[in-house]
């Protein structure tokens, strides 16, 4: 069978299964099986595919048709133009989180930071941790996660991107492993913020495959955000910054939660490229 025929057939099957962007998904999965880059893939469309490759591809495509995320099938997701290892033990890094990081770095360039290390709360795959270490080269970066399995994935990515010498990972429930005194110039978090009441409305890729503990923030999606508001100010240096990704419908509630703590000021919520309020920012007084 020619690669072109296999590609077109798989695009149709993905489309019929209701999977978004079936052309991209089919090309990426075939490229993974054949060890081709995107360019190599499209240059090889008239190539004959071996029965062994067809068999492997059919097995992987069957998993995708059952709505298992492509990143879990291939074990990798691109983020910040870098490859990151992922597994069902961690959330798949998303473009919205790249926008969180872009806002952080733009703000740091504009207003600066006190001297001191950086803290990533909820490390997951280590994507945020790695990018913080790469972009803020004069800072130590601490990363905290409750999941030992997630920290194992993060260690792989930290080593892969050669920032191990400036990253320290801790197994902890938010700040329980960190001495409660101002020490961090910047704290970043992408906490669980999806309400359990909307679980059934999520895409199957998210609802059925990604780790629930990293997704859901209680009935209203705000339980972990409330916990962070009560704790984070204890470890941020005066003048230090806190950034957090939030749900698009949580702006008013998050501002209300943080405004109840006098330790924070300059509360802001920034919109993402889609115009949705997704990036929360606060300063430690």
Of 11, 36, 66, the residue that ends a domain is 66
Share of the chain above pLDDT 70, in %: 100
pLDDT of 181 above 80? no
Whether 203 is covered by a domain: the verdict is yes
> What's the pLDDT at 180?
72
Same structural domain for residues 175 and 278? yes
Query: Which residues form the domain of 106?
Result: 88-284
Task: Identify the band that residue 178 occupies on the pLDDT scale cut at 50, 70 and 90.
Answer: confident
Share of the chain above pLDDT 90, in %: 96
pLDDT of 193 above 90? yes
Indicate the average pLDDT of the chain.
Answer: 96
> What's the pLDDT at 144?
96
Task: Identify the band that residue 177 occupies on the pLDDT scale cut at 50, 70 and 90.
Answer: confident
CA distance 54 to 1: 8
pLDDT, tens digit, for every residue of 50-67?
A: 999 999 999 999 999 999
Whether 8 is covered by a domain: the verdict is yes
Q: Report the 10 Å Cβ neighbour count for 218.
A: 17
Same structural domain for residues 47 and 136? no
Task: Identify the band that residue 38 occupies on the pLDDT scale cut at 50, 70 and 90.
Answer: confident
Same structural domain for residues 111 and 43? no
Whether 235 is covered by a domain: the verdict is yes
Which two tokens mark 284? 């430690």
pLDDT of 207 above 90? yes
Residue located via tokens 């983020």: 79
Same structural domain for residues 61 and 97? no
Same structural domain for residues 254 and 114? yes
> What's the pLDDT at 179?
78
pLDDT of 182 above 80? no
In the chain, where does DSSP find H-type helix? 3-16, 22-34, 38-43, 51-65, 70-74, 95-111, 127-135, 148-160, 204-207, 212-215, 223-231, 251-259
CA atoms within 13 A on the CB side of 77: 22
Same structural domain for residues 103 and 234? yes
Task: Identify the band that residue 112 occupies on the pLDDT scale cut at 50, 70 and 90.
Answer: very high
What is the CATH number for 154? 3.40.50.150
Q: What is the DSSP letter of 192?
A: -
- What pTM does this model have? 0.94
Whether 105 is covered by a domain: the verdict is yes
pLDDT, tens digit, for every residue of 214-264?
A: 999 999 999 999 999 999 999 999 999 999 999 999 999 999 999 999 999
Coil, strand, or helix at residue 280?
Answer: strand
Same structural domain for residues 112 and 238? yes
Same structural domain for residues 52 and 112? no
pLDDT of 159 above 80? yes
Same structural domain for residues 33 and 161? no
Same structural domain for residues 39 and 167? no
Whether 75 is covered by a domain: the verdict is no
Which two tokens mark 113? 């930071």
Strands 184-189 and 236-245: parallel
Count of structural domains within the chain: 2
Task: Identify the band that residue 197 occupies on the pLDDT scale cut at 50, 70 and 90.
Answer: very high
């Amino acid at each position: 069978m020619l690669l072109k025929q296999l590609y077109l057939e798989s695009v149709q099957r993905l489309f019929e299964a209701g999977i978004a962007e079936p052309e991209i998904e089919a090309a990426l999965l075939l490229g993974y099986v054949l060890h081709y880059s995107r360019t190599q893939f499209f240059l090889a469309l008239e190539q004959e595919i071996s029965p062994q490759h067809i068999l492997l591809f059919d097995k992987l495509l069957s998993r995708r048709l059952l709505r298992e995320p492509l990143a879990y099938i291939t074990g990798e997701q691109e983020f910040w133009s870098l490859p990151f290892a992922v597994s069902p033990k961690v959330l798949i890094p998303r473009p919205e989180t790249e926008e969180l990081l872009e806002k952080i770095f733009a703000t740091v360039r504009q207003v600066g930071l006190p001297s001191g290390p950086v803290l990533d709360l909820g490390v997951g795959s280590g994507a945020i941790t790695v990018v913080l270490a790469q972009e803020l080269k004069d800072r130590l970066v601490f990363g905290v996660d409750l999941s030992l399995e997630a920290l194992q994935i993060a260690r792989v990515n930290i080593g892969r991107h050669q920032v191990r010498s400036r990253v320290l990972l801790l197994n902890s429930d938010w700040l329980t492993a960190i001495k409660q005194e101002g020490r961090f110039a910047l704290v970043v978090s992408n906490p669980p913020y999806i309400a359990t009441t909307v679980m059934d409305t999520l895409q199957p890729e998210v609802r059925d495959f990604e780790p629930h503990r990293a997704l859901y923030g209680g009935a209203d999606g705000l339980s972990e955000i409330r916990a962070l508001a009560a704790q984070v100010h204890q470890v941020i240096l005066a003048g230090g910054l806190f950034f957090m990704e939030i749900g698009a419908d949580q702006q008013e509630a998050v501002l209300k939660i943080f405004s109840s703590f006098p330790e924070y000021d300059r509360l802001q919520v920034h919109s993402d490229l889609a115009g949705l309020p997704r990036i929360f920012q606060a300063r430690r007084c």
